[in-house]
Amino acid sequence: MSIILKNGTVFDGFSLGTEHEDILIKDGVVVRRGADLEGEGARVIDCAEKLVCPGFIDIHAHFRDPGFEWREDIMSGARAAAAGGYATVVTMPNTDPAVDSQVTVEYVLSRGESAGGARVLPSACVSRGRKGTTLAELGLMAQSGAVFFTDDGAPVSDARLLKIALRYSRDLDVRIMEHPEEPSLTAGAQVNEGAVSASCGLKGWPASAEVIDIERGIALCRETDSPIHFTHVSTEHGIDTIRRAKSEGLPVTCDVTPHHLSLDENYVLVGRFSSAYKVNPPLRTRRDVKMLWKGVEDGTVDAIATDHSPYHMDEKDVPFQESPFGIASIECSVAVVLDTWRKLGMPAGLDRLLSLFTSGPGALLPRSWRSLGALKEGARADVTVIDLEEIRRVDVNEWRSKARICPWSGEMLQGWPVLTLVDGHIRMNRLEDGE
């Protein structure tokens, strides 16, 4: 089965092409990139005025499966990801049972394969049961296909265990993804510590809670010389600390979420305490948002990851304080980022922005998957086509995800993914009617 994506502007993961080019795909592989390509019996998809990119990669999403399937499961999640323009998604292991063994890693992989959506790559726990006391079987899980180790939902609880995990994972070529939070400073906290917490008296979550854990991880990275990745960094000082570590030459990387790039703490007040704005880490100040974009622009940020956190309506449609933390956004997150980027006056180059969905996260995966995120001859045919001009309303009722509460519900956003291919298979097609 061959496909020709015709006349688009190609982004190869690093830079934007300047002319109209075609991509010829055959048997799940990118065969040729060039102008005026032809292929016998090939299906031609017109991509004029669109950006043809490597398949987008989301390295942080919660699919709640096994254990919490009423919120999401691997099938609905994988399809939602594809609908959101993602060709690959990395799932988090805070399920029930937690993904802390070969059996659970393999379960996630096989469910993902049959889902018919984005490619699902599981991450696995650092500690057994995410309890933070003993190391999980990192080697065996890496063998089975885990692509990150993380206790996300929480930081690795003690420094000693984190240091051991960093040393141990170094040879496995699987990165540790740390959720940067110092729990003693965040107990009972609901919103960012600052103007909003002063105004309504909700307990505040200080920026220091994030910075302290980042500094801890960097110190251990320095000593073990092992790569460490910080996920959903949300503060100016968090980004600054990582920037300094990078300039020192340390293997430190990080990602930021679409909501921390577009929303700030004032939305909690303006939204009149809608639980749609309750998230961990909390929405921060306008200045933090600005500094996150600076990190995007200057290369401090390596990837944009959604931290898609779905809940059932009954769980999330409750008063603010009672609500669980989490924003579910995988189906509109690319649009949120593109729309915000445009509204803020394009604070980073388009190629840099697109790299944070592609080559950036791709480089963080183990060797066997590292080629994802680049569009070139011989590569897997994972493709995401973007229409930068399209304006569309976010309609949660159309979502394939089970989640129905989202901060952008009903909003008109500009810049949407319109085609998703995984290994040459079409998983989402809004370019042509009917798929």
Partner 1 sequence: MEWRHRSLIGLEGWTREELLFFLEQANYMEEIINRPIKKAPALRGKMVVNCFFENSTRTRVSFEMAGKMLSADVVNWSSSGSSTSKGETLRDTAWTLEAMGADAVVVRHGQVGVPDYLSKKLQRAAIINAGDGTNGHPTQALLDLHSAWKKLGELNGAKMTIIGDVLHSRVARSDIQAFRKMGAKVTLCGPSTLMPEDTDSLGVEYVSDVHEAARGADILYFLRVQAERQEAGLVPSADEYHRRWGATDSLIALASRNVVVMHPGPMNRGVEIASSVADGPNSVILGQVRSGVAVRMALLYLCLGGAR
Instruction: List the structure tokens of 61.
Output: 């999403």
Distance in Å, CB of 185 to partner 1, minimum? 13
Q: Which of 27, 322, 395, 432 binds partner 1 (CB under 8 A)?
A: 322
Q: Which of 314, 397, 398, 433 binds partner 1 (CB under 8 A)?
A: 314
Q: Which of 86, 320, 341, 369 binds partner 1 (CB under 8 A)?
A: 320
Instruction: List the structure tokens of 166.
Output: 């960093």
Q: Which is nearer to partner 1, 175 or 316 (CB)?
A: 316
* Pairwise CA distance, residues 262 & 257, whole Å: 9
Distance in Å, CB of 319 to partner 1, minimum? 5
* Pairwise CA distance, residues 207 & 184, whole Å: 13
Q: Which is nearer to partner 1, 31 or 191 (CB)?
A: 191
> Does the protein bind partner 1 through residue 110 (CB under 8 A)?
no
Contacts of 136 (CB under 8 A, 6+ apart): 100, 101, 124, 125, 126, 127, 128, 149
Distance in Å, CB of 200 to partner 1, minimum? 4
> Does the protein bind partner 1 through residue 184 (CB under 8 A)?
no
Q: Measured between alpha carbons, how far apart are the two ends of the chain, in Å?
A: 17
Distance in Å, CB of 256 to partner 1, minimum? 24
Q: Which of 48, 96, 272, 410 binds partner 1 (CB under 8 A)?
A: 272
Q: Catalytic amino acids?
A: 307
> Does the protein bind partner 1 through residue 199 (CB under 8 A)?
yes
Q: Which is nearer to partner 1, 137 or 182 (CB)?
A: 182
* Closest to 353 measured CA to CA, from 304, 388, 419, 408: 304
Q: Which of 12, 151, 193, 307 binds partner 1 (CB under 8 A)?
A: 193
Q: Are 276 and 407 in contact (CB under 8 A)?
A: yes
Contact letters for partner 1, residues 233-252 (x by CB under 8 A): --------------------
* Pairwise CA distance, residues 306 & 282, whole Å: 14
Helix (H, G, I), strand (E, B) or coil at 218: helix
* Pairwise CA distance, residues 68 & 52, whole Å: 36
Say how many CA atoms lie within 13 Å of 217 toward its Cβ: 33
Distance in Å, CB of 263 to partner 1, minimum? 17
Residues that bind partner 1 (CB under 8 A): 190, 193-195, 197-202, 204, 272-274, 314, 317-322
